[in-house]
Chains A and B, each alone.
Chain A
Amino acid sequence: MPIPLGRSTFAMNRPPSVLASAAVGGKKEGEDPMAQWFDEIHNDTTFGEKTWEKAESRFQQRACQLALKKAKIAPEQVKLLLAGDLLNQCISSSYGVKELMIPFFGLYGACSTMTEALALASLLGDNGVIDPILAVTSSHFCSAERQFRYPLEYGGQRPPTAQWTATASGAALVGKSSKPPYLKAVTIGTIQDLGVHDINNMGAAMAPAAAATLLTYFADTGTQPHQYDGIFTGDLGQVGSKLFYQLLAQQQVNVTSIHQDCGCLIFDAKTQDVHAGGSGCGCAASMGCGYLMRQLEMGKLHHVLFLATGALMSTVSCQQGCSIPCISHLVYLSTDPTPVFQGG
């Protein structure tokens, strides 16, 4: 059973492993320095489908298939699938995974879905009853644009704070193993809303959620940033990352030397015209299940806090003038299986 540390942090008693993980990306994702960490790049972002929604489903299906193949586990052996995405009623997930016939819980955490799924997989998988668990999420630039913003052919200018929804998917299979990386602790985030209304500045809206969850984790575990060699936030982008540092600095916490943001990693801001960086469930999912997991597997990183961030507004709430509620969930990934206890 997970051991509670404070109110919202739980340490795993017998930390489950990430058995295998896979990342799939679209054309733009294949044109940046991160391309090598994707298992597959699909230059045809329609995936041969007639609609963008179906295309996104296929990305998610492909990420699941690749993760299962790497782990040499058949879909029938998987006990639970945790999946979510950005589209209304999470249709990318439902249509993407239906053929795998794995018992399914749908999640909605917007762009925080990857760590939401990993956190749930850790908590549910700790006692070994549900093993293995597959966690997957995706986003597609085209399906997100047409749901949240404008039609693709609409001529508009993006402000400098806007972020580009990644066309990508990431999947991770969580189960008992003696192979790192291990999922050692999770912090479940609370909703943070500091009154940001601008849907073209999601990084600013989400930065307080990431900062709050990280500070909660440090307080609950009694650990310090220097005990980790990597802190990966979801998709704060360039603007959100700067605000994240400022918010942490107010609490005398400095993570600048070990922090990386999936939104800043996934695209090259100078050459790819993405303004403040990448976003979407698939951004943190593909960076987490691709780049980050490989770094842990290769032993280049050993103690990593991974916090994807999500903006939980809808087009309705935006048009009704509501501010943007945001959330961030944290998972602690480590190459060392020793459980975490209070005080380190």
Chain B
Amino acid sequence: MQYFYVFLVGGAFCAIGQVLIDYTKLTPARILTSYVVAGVILGGLGVYQYLVDFAGAGATVPLTGFGNLMAQGVREAVDQYGLIGALMGGFTAGSAGLAAAILFGLLAALVFKPKDKS
């Protein structure tokens, strides 16, 4: 049953994204940016965690989950270090995802060649 909720919530996030692609002039980069910003805001308001508890990866895998992670990180950093934590938490929480994306992106670029589409 847990996996059904994961599928449902994760799918719903993507379906909303598709509505934005089909019916607005938003470019993919703007949609991704909006998702992360929305994730930070929903995480900051404390509501996103309910979705994570309910749907697990269905809420953490979409980029809103990345935003929520940043909000969490900021909260922890502020708790620990005070105001300066506001500058630290976002990157700290997102560091694994970012470093992995850069590392694997670089490795893929070294190994593979761009291909024509047809």
Q: Do A and B come from one complex?
A: yes
Q: Which of B21, B25, B28, B116 is within 8 Å of A141, CB to CB?
A: B116
Seed contacts A27-B116, A157-B21; 12 additional CB < 8 Å A-B pairs: A26-B116, A26-B118, A31-B118, A45-B116, A52-B114, A141-B116, A141-B117, A152-B115, A152-B117, A153-B115, A156-B28, A167-B116
Contact B21 A153 (CB under 8 A): no
Interface of B is mostly: loop
A153 to B113: give the CA distance in the assembly, Å: 10
Would you list 21 pairs from A and B whose C-beta atoms are within 8 A, ordered by A residue? A26-B116, A26-B118, A27-B116, A27-B118, A28-B118, A31-B118, A46-B116, A52-B114, A141-B116, A141-B117, A142-B114, A142-B116, A152-B114, A152-B116, A152-B117, A153-B114, A153-B115, A156-B28, A157-B21, A167-B116, A198-B25
A39 to B117: give the CA distance in the assembly, Å: 22
A46 to B115: give the CA distance in the assembly, Å: 9
Interface size on B, residues (CB 8 A): 8
**Which residue on A lies nearest to B29, using beta carbons?**
A150
A141 to B116: give the CA distance in the assembly, Å: 8
Across-interface contacts of A299 in B (CB, < 8 A) = none
A31 to B25: give the CA distance in the assembly, Å: 33
Interface string of A110-146 (1 = CB under 8 A from B): 0000000000000000000000000000000110000
Q: Which of A151, A156, A157, A198 is within 8 Å of B114, CB to CB?
A: A151
Interface string of B18-49 (1 = CB under 8 A from A): 00010001001000000000000000000000
Across-interface contacts of B116 in A (CB, < 8 A) = 26-27, 45-46, 141-142, 152, 167
Interface string of A21-42 (1 = CB under 8 A from B): 0000011100100000000000
Interface residues on A, range: 10 to 19
Across-interface contacts of A167 in B (CB, < 8 A) = 116
A52 to B116: give the CA distance in the assembly, Å: 9
Smallest CB-CB A-B distances: 5 pairs: A28-B118, A45-B116, A152-B114, A27-B118, A142-B116
* Chain B nearest CB, measured from A331 CB (Å): 31
A26 to B116: give the CA distance in the assembly, Å: 10
* Chain A nearest CB, measured from B108 CB (Å): 9
**Which residue on A lies nearest to B114, using beta carbons?**
A152
**Which residue on A lies nearest to B117, using beta carbons?**
A152
**Which residue on B lies nearest to A167, using beta carbons?**
B116
Q: Which of B21, B115, B117 has the most CB of A within 10 A?
A: B117
Across-interface contacts of A156 in B (CB, < 8 A) = 28
* Chain A nearest CB, measured from B9 CB (Å): 22
* Chain B nearest CB, measured from A310 CB (Å): 23
Across-interface contacts of B28 in A (CB, < 8 A) = 156
A156 to B28: give the CA distance in the assembly, Å: 8
**Which residue on B lies nearest to A31, using beta carbons?**
B118
* Chain B nearest CB, measured from A135 CB (Å): 27
A152 to B116: give the CA distance in the assembly, Å: 7
A191 to B117: give the CA distance in the assembly, Å: 33
A26 to B25: give the CA distance in the assembly, Å: 32
A167 to B116: give the CA distance in the assembly, Å: 10
**Which residue on A lies nearest to B22, using beta carbons?**
A159
Interface string of B91-118 (1 = CB under 8 A from A): 0000000000000000000000011111
Across-interface contacts of A52 in B (CB, < 8 A) = 114
Across-interface contacts of B115 in A (CB, < 8 A) = 152-153
Across-interface contacts of B118 in A (CB, < 8 A) = 26-28, 31
